Structure 1
Amino acid sequence: MASSSAGIVTGLTAAALVTVGVLAHQASVAAPAGPERPRASSTPAPGAPKAPRDRRHPDALPAGSGTGERVVYSVDDDRVWLVGSGNRVRRTFRVTPSTVDPAPGAYTVTSRSNRVTGSDGVPVEHVVRFATAQGVAIGFSAAVDGSTAKPDPDERTGGVRTSRADGEAIWRFATIGQQVVVVP
């Protein structure tokens, strides 16, 4: 009798391990790339709520934009906040958005370039990249000539343009690994 119950236990254990393995595989296939790098797209997730804003202070840090040192970028408000320790806003400024937006979520700065040519052909400086959407690298940059013209809507570009002064501020603040939180 002991040998038959051992066989049953072994069979049940094997079945449980197979089930757990199948479920783990299904979860890994359906899961995003990781909590710090969600798959980005040009449209927010269906039903993604917009972070509440302070109507009396439209440049106030959006509620629900995370904690700790971070860059917060609102794609709806075309605004960036550089947030230091203690949730203190060090600087906030308006930006000119790219034609391709990152999806709301938390990212990290993956690369930086002091001076390059942007995807729109404009020489830029202080490039801070943090996402990819529709095959386009997304990042903050400042045009060397100081322009912040809206990009051609027919071109897929990823450069979120800042003034030169704001570009320098984000360059100093957002080093490799710095968190960037994108909100609607």
Structure 2
Amino acid sequence: MAVLTAVALAVVAFFAYQANAAPDRPGASGKPEPAPTDEIVPDKPDGDEQEDPENPALPADSGEGVRVVYSLGEQRLWLVTEALDGLGEEVLHTYPAHRSTVDPQPGTYEVTRRDEAIPGSDGVPIQHVVVFHTDPEGIVFGFSAAVDGSLPDPSAQARTGGIRQSPEDSPQLWDFAEVGTKVVVVP
């Protein structure tokens, strides 16, 4: 009788082992399961890529080829070049930019002047100045960084077209945008 009991216990233990190791059971892979969390992770719709807030997608209808894209609505710059494989293009860098009191009209321009360091139209010393347009009223539009890191005052009385970048980002544009580089301003 003891032998039958031992065999019965062995069979039950075997079936219990198999049931616990079944592929539809948590922990069946032998890997530890992640601990439950209260964090709510939104579902991503099938086929849709969620945009990275630090690197938003290049705006549609922003031109082709090597160019600087400036979005008035997003207040952001994209530095775009040809892809290394020669098929298409790639964004080298994107970062926020801060408008002044006057915005350039959407359109295609090109870099006309570069100055390493000058006084800004608001009197603040600026560096890495990349000018791309002067309107009929004489307002100069360009990208720059305040040496002290300050931003333009969009409520100021002076009409200026300086688009400020951070001192950390401005070297990227300075190295990228030579005189003649296309600048596309989008709404």
TM class, shorter-length? 0.5 to 0.7
Larger Rg: 2
| Pairing of 1:106-117 with structure 2 (within 5 A) | 106-117=108-119
Paired letter, 2:80: V
Paired residues for 1:67-82 under 5 Å: 67-82=64-79
Q: What is the CA deviation profile of residues 152-171 of structure 1, one whole-angstrom value per residue up to 9, with x for unaligned ones?
A: 43210111000012111101
Compute the RMSD of aligned alpha carbons: 1.7
Find the counterpart in structure 2 of residue 174 from structure 1: 177
Runs of 5+ consecutive residues of structure 2 not aligned to the other structure: 1-47, 84-88
TM-score (norm 1): 0.67
Tell me how far apart the structure 1 counterparts of residues 143 and 186 of structure 2 sit (CA, whole Å): 15
Cα deviation, 1:108-161, whole Å, max 9, x if unaligned, reads: 000010000000000000000001233211000000112224344321011100
Q: For 1:168 and 1:148, how far apart are their aligned partners in 2? A: 17
Distance in 2, matches of 1:95 and 1:55, equals: 25
Greater CA drift, 60-69 or 152-161: 152-161
Could you say which residue in structure 2 is the equivalent of 1:164?
A: 167
Q: Offset at 1:77?
A: 1.0
- Structure 1 gap ranges (5+): 1-53
Deviation at 1:63, TM superposition (A): 0.8
- Structure 2 counterpart of 1:154, one-letter code: Q
2-side partners of 1:131 and 1:77: how far apart? 20
Question: Which residue in the other structure is 1:145 paired with?
Answer: 148
Among the aligned pairs, what percent are the same residue? 53
Name the stretch that deviates more: 113-122 or 151-160: 151-160
